[in-house]
Amino acid sequence: MGSRDAKMLTFLTEYFYPEESSTAQLLTELAVELSESYDVSAVTNLPNYHDIDQHKAVSKRERHEDVSVRRLRGTRFDKDSLVLRIVNWLSFTLLTTLHLARRQTDVLLVVSNPPILPFAAWVKKRVSGTPYVYLIHDMYPDMPIGLGILSEDSLIARIWERGMRILYRDADRIVVLGGSMEDRLVEKMGADAGFDPEKVSVIPNWEDEEFIQPMAKTKNEFAAEQGTREKFTVLYSGNIGRFHELKTVIDAIDILEKQGREDIELLIIGEGARKEELIQYVTESDVKNIRFLPFQPRDRLPETLTCADASLVGIKPEMEGMCVSSKLYSSLAAGMPVLAVVGESDEVARVVREESCGEYISPSDAEKAAKTIALWADNPAEVSRYGQNARTALENNYTKAHAVEAYESLLSDII
């Protein structure tokens, strides 16, 4: 726990303990670790990531380990509706701005989701001079433009882009998750004389290497329950959002099925805006060796993430340099080969190549995906080698200890 005269560090995030989204888990773990050196608090919303979260009994104020948690009563409408999600963003950001006006802190750490939340930190800095660290998980308005939700030439996009440039310029430090994101940000702000690229730091996210460990399917109860011991199984576990790329591997399973490879399957675990669309696509394509399961409880993650033979990380190529999938780290922790269906210069593709822990597949290249999966199914030694390399990559680069050390160093330069 930080000493009595420890500097005050405040996290601003829509998702925090006890929620089970990757953002909530990562920021909760980071806050707890940093509370060893700082007086840490978190300003967050009431649970709302999953529908079931809204029924969790939580206090508006509590301490989670040594972190003081303040939950604001923002709206919690259906986040799969873009309009209602924007209402949630606006209400939480407004409440956060008002809350900060009545509170003092030495430094703010604000995450990019929801995308307008960092403006609360910017207002606080303008009013009281409080420095802020901007942690970018997703780049805006780049992502909605890349997804075709927003036109780059629209008035909203132009205003949003100008606002983001102000945030980037005024942030005391900016944290991105990978080199591709750093390249994109520095190039975007290259012509801005007021922007210092030296304040951008690459600090990857992580997976708890003790919580998630490689586990043989023969010892995995979830694998026994779901019958994945009998087939070579490719696993996708996580959010099924608008920017996730799963159709390439769905089509690959279709190809393999038509080739008589009934020994290979795809298991998709999770929820999200595109789940029903993908279920309909699989049904219309009449693919039998693809199954969908709902999100599983967190305490089963050590089993669910290791119940297969290979792990799919799929991101639409238009998202290249705008985010780094958290699926990468859980896949590495599980010690499984990574099937990286992403843009060619995406961070996930870079890691897979450099660490020799899987295969890069160009999105829409279902034929190559099918050949790769079949090759892995027929070569357990190759799968084992890739899996060992994956786990080594995690332990050498993507643990919580690596991230905490980097954040400690960054924060020591500010306060």
User: Is 217-397 a CATH 3.40.50.2000 domain?
Assistant: yes
Domains 8-206+399-412 and 217-397 share a fold: yes
Cβ atoms within 10 Å, residue 78 = 11
Phi and psi at residue 346, to the nearest 5°: -65, 150
d(CA 293, CA 271) in angstroms, rounded, equals 8
Distances (CA, A) of 158 to 82, 139, 207, 232, 319: 19, 15, 36, 48, 19
CA angle 266–269–270, rounded 5-degree value: 140
Task: Find the DSSP H helices in 259-346.
Answer: 275-285, 301-304, 327-334
* 232-237: strand order across its sheet: 290-293, 264-269, 232-237, 310-314, 338-341, 358-361
Residue 220's CB is within 10 A of a number of other CB atoms, namely 20
DSSP secondary-structure letter at 330?
H
Closest CA to 134 of 80, 76, 195, 73: 195
Per-residue pLDDT of the chain (415 residues; tens, 9 = 90+): 555 578 999 999 999 999 888 899 999 999 999 999 999 999 999 987 766 666 567 889 999 999 999 999 988 887 778 788 889 999 999 999 999 999 999 999 999 999 999 999 999 999 999 999 999 999 999 999 999 999 999 999 999 999 999 999 999 999 999 999 999 999 999 999 999 999 999 999 999 999 999 999 999 999 999 999 999 999 999 999 999 999 999 999 999 999 999 999 999 999 998 999 999 999 999 999 999 999 999 999 999 999 999 999 999 999 999 999 999 999 999 999 999 999 999 999 999 999 999 999 999 999 999 999 999 999 999 999 999 999 999 999 999 999 999 999 999 999 8
Model confidence, pTM: 0.92
CATH 3.40.50.2000 for domain 8-206+399-412: yes
Partners of 293 in beta bridges: 269
Of 213, 248, 258, 260, the C-alpha closest to 395 is: 213
Domain definitions of the chain by residue range:
8-206+399-412, 217-397
Q: Which of 10, 41, 11, 6 is nearest to 27 (CA)?
A: 11
